[in-house]
Amino acid sequence: EDKVVQSPLSLVVHEGDTVTLNCSYEVTNFRSLLWYKQEKKAPTFLFMLTSSGIEKKSGRLSSILDKKELFSILNITATQTGDSAIYLCAVVMGGAGKSTFGDGTTLTVKP
Amino acid sequence: DARVTQTPRHKVTEMGQEVTMRCQPILGHNTVFWYRQTMMQGLELLAYFRNRAPLDDSGMPKDRFSAEMPDATLATLKIQPSEPRDSAVYFCASGLIPGQGRGEQYFGPGTRLTVT
């Protein structure tokens, strides 16, 4: 059975802190790993990772994939209250692109 | 600015009633997904389509849920009869199959369903 596990389930930090969110997976026919941010509405796309060791960056967010150890991390530096959200990790399988989502990490950034 | 649209945005209904949710995927996308999200279960995949053909609906209770794509611009999710445990936010998402796109899914705003 395909499985995506995120940790921690929730995290509370103060503005300016750096956080690391984890995502491990066990799936058949891995194609890519995606990170989403969900605030009060629908998830929005952050990153797609397909190759090990290549860091993706967007401002204060960065992510990296390890296909040998089957995990990815999402780093957020100098956190702001606007970073408070649920961060979802999803793995896309080959073929038609079915995705399996993790349960998410709820990040709360306090002023 | 292309986006996935869903109707209705909110639905309150009584147990036993039929509920139909509609989704218009982004033009040109060839995969469509239906998800359900609750506090307890997180995001669950109910069904997905590729080029309008249903590929997997194993996440749906077959006796009461049905999903269809009558054409490329419309996907529907129907619950008949609805039950209180169906209360959740239902998201539709669309994308391109891996190889044609990056694999990410674009989510609609969701339909918040409450069954009393």
Contact A97 B107 (CB under 8 A): no
* Mean pLDDT value across chain A: 91
Residue B35: band (very low, low, confident or very high) from pLDDT cuts 50, 70, 90: very high
Q: Is A45 on the interface with B (CB under 8 A)?
A: yes
Please write down the long-range contacts of B94-97, taking CB distance under 8 Å and 24 or more positions apart.
Answer: B94/B4, B94/B23, B94/B25, B94/B26, B94/B29, B94/B31, B94/B32, B94/B33, B95/A97, B95/B29, B95/B31, B95/B33, B96/A97, B96/B28, B96/B29, B96/B30, B96/B31, B97/A95, B97/A96, B97/A97, B97/B30, B97/B31, B97/B50
Per-residue pLDDT, A97: 65
Q: Is B42 on the interface with A (CB under 8 A)?
A: yes
Per-residue pLDDT, A96: 62
Q: Is the pLDDT of residue B101 over 90?
A: no
* Mean pLDDT value across chain B: 91
pLDDT, tens digit, for every residue of A39-92? 988 999 898 898 888 888 889 999 999 989 999 999 999 999 999 999 999 998
User: What is the percentage of chain A residues whose pLDDT exceeds 70?
Assistant: 97
Most confident residue range from B1-5, B41-45, B68-72: B68-72
Q: Is A94 on the interface with B (CB under 8 A)?
A: yes
Q: Is A5 on the interface with B (CB under 8 A)?
A: no
Contact A48 B109 (CB under 8 A): no
